[in-house]
Structure 1
Amino acid sequence: MSEFILQYKIIPVTPFQQNCTLVWCDETQDAALIDPGGDLHLLQAAIEQANVKVTKILLTHGHLDHVGGTAELVRKHGLPIEGPQREDAFWIDQLPMQCQMMGFPPVQNFQPDRWLEQGDRVTVGREQLEVFFCPGHTPGHVVFYHAGQQLAWVGDVLFAGSIGRTDFPRGDYDTLVTSIRKNLWPLGDAVQFIPGHGPMSTFGTERKTNPFVADHRFG
């Protein structure tokens, strides 16, 4: 059986301390950046330290703190972009406005090379991540899941002790709760997840203790 696994390093970026993740295939040293929100010097330092080759960008959703470094990375390195789901195109189109509203330096919008859907798979070297469509925080939000390591990148869908905001345009609380309970919980209580902000947790812990989506709230 192969000893190779998907390695990762979490790199908090932007004033919002968004958890960008550098992930790479142990066998090929091919890597991807999940949600490169900004602070490209920090991302470059992590890439050099890991001694890997970034071959693509993976995006969970179109909010500025998750995608703000994307256009510059594409300009410098010609990287393809996979994700989010196409319903988040309006957020990406409005990146200049998002920058203005949040007081961020201006960034360019961009066009993903591949919009993702429920059941799609993305590759990092020889490793595969499963794609789950989890709208609610934004209408086109996706989650990435590595079955071998029972590890998920959930963006702003779920946090340790909380869930994503739904007061943004086209956010919806009931849709978000349904996304979590129908798409994430069946993956198993042992699954660890890396949220868009804050510490890691497990689906099992959140099912027991999260005040928004704990099982006891739903009888």
Structure 2
Amino acid sequence: MTVLSYPEAVTVPAGQARAVTLRAGQSLRITDVDGGQVGDVFAYNADDLTEHHSASHTRTHTARLFPTLGESFVTNRRRPILTYVADTSPGVHDMLIAACDPERYAAYGDPEHANCADNLRRIIAELGYGAPPFIPQPINVFMRIPVAADESLTWLEAITAPGDSITLRAEMDCLVVVSACPQDHNPINGSRPTPLALTILSPISEETPR
């Protein structure tokens, strides 16, 4: 199991996950290698996994469905954990949809399918923390789930091109798990799941936000 520290980089194989340890001030660039791939991002306080990114607390903090450039994702203790600092993609991301899990695929008649929830559980267990008590709502980078005027949601194919990326800066020492979502029963990943790439950036080498 790979846990990165600066200045290494790694590919997250399609349908799998990798963990990254960030020091406060470092950034993580997540790159869509082939285009059209969603990534489920989970962020934890490196010293206390009971503190983690919280979608609901972040929406309260920013008064948005998803932060804009320069805004922070916050934890279940309302503390900034990651800041959205750069984006070369079309900037379409999601923070409403739960991680795919065995139950989701059982509903499709495919209960043994790889899934982001089990990917997270596996990584956390391999790091020696045991099973997480629950699966937090992920930051779904590159995921396109428009909200219609009647408040209905639609699952659409990601519109990222090969090489598009998003960069998140750590506001505390944190453990970040990224799952290259294996979903292939709906169109979010296009024709098939593909890899993501993770790169840790020092503070001086961050991209300039567009």
Alignment TM class, shorter chain as reference:
under 0.3
**Could you tell me the TM-score, scaled by structure 1's length?**
0.27
Question: Which has the larger share of helix?
Answer: 1
